Amino acid sequence: MPDQSTKTKPENLPRRTPTRDLTVGPIGMTLFVFSLPILAGNVLQSLNGSINAMWIGRFLGEAALTATANANNVMFALIGLIFGVGMAASILVAQAMGAHNVAQAKRVLGSSATFFGAASVVIAAIGWPLSRKLMVWMGTPADALPLAQAYLEVIFLAIPLLYLFAFVSAVLRGAGDTKTPFWFLLLVVVLDTALNPLLIFGWGPCPGWV
DSSP annotation string for the chain: ----GGGT-GGGSPPP-SS--TTSS-HHHHHHHHHHHHHHHHHHHHHHHHHHHHHHHHHT-HHHHHHHHHHHHHHHHHHHHHHHHHHHHHHHHHHHHHTT-HHHHHHHHHHHHHHHHHHHHHHHHHHGGGHHHHHHHTT--TTTHHHHHHHHHHHHHHHHHHHHHHHHHHHHHHTT--HHHHHHHHHHHHHHHHHHHHHHH-BTTBPP--
Residue 56 lies in a domain: no
State residue 1's pLDDT score.
47
State residue 9's pLDDT score.
46
Domain range for 87 is 62-177
* pLDDT tens-digit map of 81-100: 887 778 888 888 888 887 88
Residue 184 lies in a domain: no
* pLDDT tens-digit map of 22-54: 667 677 887 888 888 889 988 988 888 888 888
Residue 73 lies in a domain: yes
Quote the number of domains for the chain: 1
Residue 199 lies in a domain: no
State residue 22's pLDDT score.
64
State residue 209's pLDDT score.
67
Residue 142 lies in a domain: yes
State residue 210's pLDDT score.
61
The pLDDT averaged over each successive group of 10 residues in the chain (210 residues) is 47 48 73 86 87 87 89 88 81 84 85 87 93 91 91 92 87 86 90 84 71
